[in-house]
Amino acid sequence: MSDLLLLGLIGGLTLLLLMTLLAFVGYSGLLAEVSVSAGSPPIRNITMAYKFHVGPYSDTGQLFTESCSISPKLRSIAVYYDNPHTIPPGKCRCAVGSILSEGEEPPSPELIQLYQKYGFKIFSFPAPSHVVTATFPYTTTLSIWLAARQVHPALDTYIKERKLCAHPRLEIYQQDQIHFVCPLARQGDFYVPEVKETERKCRGLGESCDPQTDGTEADVMSDSSSLSLEASPGSRETSATTLSPGVSSSRGWEDGDNRSEHSYSESGASGSSFEELDLEGEGPFLGEPRPSPEAKPLGATRQPSTSEKGEE
């Protein structure tokens, strides 16, 4: 009788453990519906403190930890420039850090100096007029892992089906949500100087770089990109070695499926303009509506006229 009671107790505890795990995974967003849309951006123009990373995206956790530990109240941000499904992990590039300010108000000099002290650089992004965007619950650390495997494939499918030119890919951690943003215009303004420098070096050496070296990025990026603020002398050599743990230490992109066939700036090289979309977003999630710029995004295709079709 005691043996049956013991087996029943073990079975009950096992069932309780499984139910707890299922509840935790569900709370983290396993069953969350991913809705991708095109419309107004969830952010306005921002200034960020960042560190540039070349290598597997799963190794960027320490950068999130550093930036979050310096000022835990600030929102974390990551800008991914390469598709980890097609680009070798060791050559994938991204910028990771914290949002120092949003909108017209500049960040405080003290905050800039604090981040520069730990080797971070400062860069400003404009507010794109139109973006492809999605959100995912951010309730636990597991939410990051689930988002990487649910949101990115959905974004890839949406962009590919509509033949859009949408890059780079931003992740913004806002309270209890992760915002995924892919600009449809002014994409070059979102490329930090280190990305442009790697492209110039490759062109100067006459080499064929895997990420975006077919001239697509060079066409996208313009000289009118936002200027980064200069770091104080010696800030590049200063490392953050005494920071406490912060966010998750793994992004987990490399195991994702259903990626587009090209790197992000190449996926929409022959894509359509955002003006052809039925814009679903009624307004930004976090900022004010922004007026549309005069310039159209790259990747727009001209439809042949009736006479041209007849000649063909």
Q: Which of 126, 132, 221, 216 is nearest to 169 (CA)?
A: 132
Which range is least confidently modeled, 8-12, 14-18, 259-263? 259-263
Alpha carbon 240 to its chain centroid, in Å, reads: 23
- Give the pLDDT confidence of 105-136 residue by residue, as tens digits: 899 999 999 999 999 999 998 888 899 999 99
pLDDT for residue 217: 38
pLDDT tens digits along 92-107: 999 999 999 998 889 9
pTM for this structure? 0.68
Give the residue, 262 or 203, on which the prediction is more confident.
203
Residues of the chain above pLDDT 90, percent: 38
- Residue 306 confidence class, pLDDT cut points 50, 70, 90: very low
Phi and psi at 192, nearest 5°, equal -70, 160
- R_g (Cα) of the chain, nearest Å: 22
Alpha carbons within 13 A on the beta-carbon side of 310: 3
239 or 208, which is more confident? 208
> 256 near 84, Cβ under 8 Å?
yes
Whole-number Å distance between alpha carbons of 62 and 168: 22
Over 80: is that where the pLDDT of 77 sits?
yes
Q: What is the model's pLDDT at position 209?
A: 59
- Dump pLDDT digits (tens) for 183-234: 998 899 999 999 988 777 777 766 555 544 333 333 333 333 333 333 333 3
Residue 264: pLDDT band with limits 50, 70, 90: low
Share of the chain above pLDDT 70, in %: 65
* Position with higher pLDDT, 271 vs 196: 196
Mean pLDDT of 2-16: 85
Mean pLDDT for the stretch of residues 227-251: 34
User: What three-state secondary structure class fits 307?
Assistant: helix
Both tokens of 172, joined, read 């913004």
Indicate the average pLDDT of the chain.
73
DSSP string, 13-80: HHHHHHHHHHHHHHHHTTTPPP--EEES-SS-SEEEEEEEEES-GGGTHHHHHHHHHH-TTSPEEEEE
CATH 3.20.80.10, applies to 28-200: yes
Q: Are 164 and 184 in contact (CB under 8 A)?
A: yes
Q: How many residues are there in the chain?
A: 312
